[in-house]
Amino acid sequence: MRDPILRIEDLHIEFRTSRGVIHALQGVTFDVMPGEIFGVVGETGCGKTITGLSVLRLLPRSARITQGNIRFEGVDLLKISQREMRSIRGGKISIIFQDPSTSMNPLFTIGFQMNKVIREHLKFSREKARERALTMLAATGLPDVERIYDSYPHQLSGGMLQRAMIALALSCEHSLLIADEPTTALDVTIQSQILQLMRELQQKLGVAMILITHNLGVVANMCDRLVVLYAGRVVEIGESRSIFENPQHPYTRGLMSAIPAPGSRGNRLSAIPGNVPIDPGALKGCVFAPRCAFVMPRCLKESPVMFHLSKDHASTCFLAERGDLF
Ligand SMILES: Nc1ncnc2c1ncn2[C@@H]1O[C@H](COP(=O)(O)OP(=O)(O)OP(=O)(O)O)[C@@H](O)[C@H]1O
Ligand SMILES: [Mg+2]
C-alpha cells in the first residue's frame, strides 16, 4: 500500500465574525493518493474552498485552524516556515480557482506571468521558461500560442483564459493540483472540454488532483475517490463507484438526484429542501438531521460517528450503521 501524498486529519477551522465564532470545518479527515483524482463535493457553504485553501495556508485572516494537521509528502504543512510554504506553493502544490481573473494579474501578459512562475520554481533561464510556457499552452489545445503568450488576460475569452490557467498550474511539475470549481464560470459545452483536458493532462503528468465541485455529476466522470462534505463535516467518503452504486448518506442521495441533466446548468439543489446551517457548530446531533427525510429521534441527540461499510467506503449516518438501505 502506497503512502498518501496528502493527509488531512481532524481539521477544524473557525471564523471570527462580528456575530461571533463560526465553526466552519469540524473534523474533516481524508487522504489523497499520488496520481489520483480526488473529489470534494457538497453544496455552497459546506467548506470545500476553505479545505483547499488550508492546504496552501491561504485562508483569510479571520480564519483560524484550531485543531488537526495537514501532511503533504510527509511534511507537516501547519508547522513549516512561511519561506518553506512559499516554495511548496507553486512548486509542489498549485491551485486553480473558479474565477481565473483572481489568479491572473490583469496588468501583465500571460507569458510574463508564466515565465516568472516557471523561472522561480524550476530555476529555468528566461528562454527555457518561455519554451516551457509555450509547450504547456499548446498542450491545453490553445491555437497560436505565441500570440496568447503575448496577450493580456482581458484579450482572451473565458475558456481560453481558463486553459491558460491550467497551463500555468501544470507547468511547474507539481505533485498536487487543487482545482476549485475550475469550470463553473464557463459555458456548459466548454466545461466538459476543459474537464476532459484536465483529466488528460493529469494522467499524462501523473499529478494528483483534488477536484472541488458542487456537481456530483462532474465527480462521477472524473474522480477515483471522493468525499462528500456537509456543513463542514465529512458525511460520506470512499471510492466513487461504490458511492454512486450504493450511497449510504441521505445527503449524498439528495446530491445524486440533483445531478443536472446534460445541457442544463442545474446549480440549485431543489431535491434537498432547506439550507446549510450558518453555524453548524451550534447544532446538536447529526448536522443533516434538520433537512433529512429519514430523520429518527436519535439523530437529533447523538452525533453519528464514521461507519465503515468496507475498506473503501464509509458514511456518518445511523442508517448506514444499522445496515438499513433506505
Ligand atoms: N471570509 C469568511 N468570513 C466568515 N466566514 C466564512 C468566510 N469564508 C468562509 N466562511 C465560512 O466557511 C463556510 C465554508 O465556506 P467555503 O467557502 O469553504 O464554502 P464552499 O463549500 O467552498 O462553498 P461554494 O460552493 O459557495 O464555493 C461558509 O459557510 C462560511 O460559514
Ligand atoms: Mg467554494
pLDDT at residue 262 in the model: 55
Residue 151 has pLDDT above 80, yes or no: yes
Report the interhelical angle of 188-205 vs 158-170 (nearest 10°): 10
Residue 44 has pLDDT above 70, yes or no: yes
Ligand 1 atom with the shortest distance to the CA of 46: 21
Higher pLDDT, 104 or 119: 119
Take residue 200 and report the three cell numbers written for it. 488528460
Could you tell me if the CB of 170 is within 6 A of ligand 1?
no
Q: What residue segments make up the domains of the chain, in order of their start?
A: 6-92+208-322
Spatial contact of 197 and 143, defined as CB atoms under 8 Å apart: no
Q: What is the pTM of this model?
A: 0.90
Instruction: Give residue-wise pLDDT tens across range 208-246.
Output: 999 999 888 888 889 999 999 999 999 999 999 999 999
- Pairing state between β 37-41 and 225-230: parallel
pLDDT at residue 269 in the model: 47
Residue 254 has pLDDT above 50, yes or no: yes
pLDDT at residue 325 in the model: 58
To the nearest whole number, what is the mean pLDDT of the chain? 88
Give the residue carrying C-alpha cell 473503501: 312
Q: Which residues contact 318 (CB under 8 A, 6 or more apart)?
A: 286, 296, 298, 299, 302, 304
Residues by chain with Cβ below 5 Å of ion ligand 2: 48-49
Residue 53 has pLDDT above 60, yes or no: yes
Q: Which residues contact 275 (CB under 8 A, 6 or more apart)?
A: none
Q: 203: part of which helix (H) or strand (E)?
A: helix 188-205
Q: Percent of the chain at pLDDT above 70?
A: 92
pLDDT at residue 268 in the model: 47
Indicate the pLDDT class of residue 109, thresholds 50, 70 and 90.
very high
Give the residue carrying C-alpha cell 483534488: 210
- With the most atoms of ligand 1 within 8 angstroms of its CB, the residue from 22, 23, 102, 213 to mutate is 22
pLDDT at residue 141 in the model: 86
pLDDT at residue 267 in the model: 45
Measured distance CA(89)–CA(256) in Å, rounded: 34
Q: Which residues contact 219 (CB under 8 A, 6 or more apart)?
A: 39, 41, 211, 213, 226, 240
Ligand 2 centroid to 129 CA: how many Å? 32
List, in sequence order, the alpha helices (H) in 42-179: 48-55, 82-88, 110-122, 126-139, 145-149, 158-170
pLDDT at residue 174 in the model: 86
Starting from the edge strand earliest in sequence, which strands make up the sheet with 233-239, in order?
93-96, 176-180, 208-213, 37-41, 225-230, 233-239, 313-315, 307-310
Spatial contact of 213 and 236, defined as CB atoms under 8 Å apart: no
Backbone φ, ψ for residue 319 (5° rounding): -65, -40
> In CATH, what number does 6-92+208-322 get?
3.40.50.300
SS3 316: coil
SS3 170: helix
Measured distance CA(88)–CA(251) in Å, rounded: 35
Could you tell me if the CB of 54 is within 6 A of ligand 1?
no
Length of the chain: 326
- Pairing state between β 233-239 and 63-72: unpaired
- With the most atoms of ligand 1 within 8 angstroms of its CB, the residue from 11, 43, 46 to mutate is 46
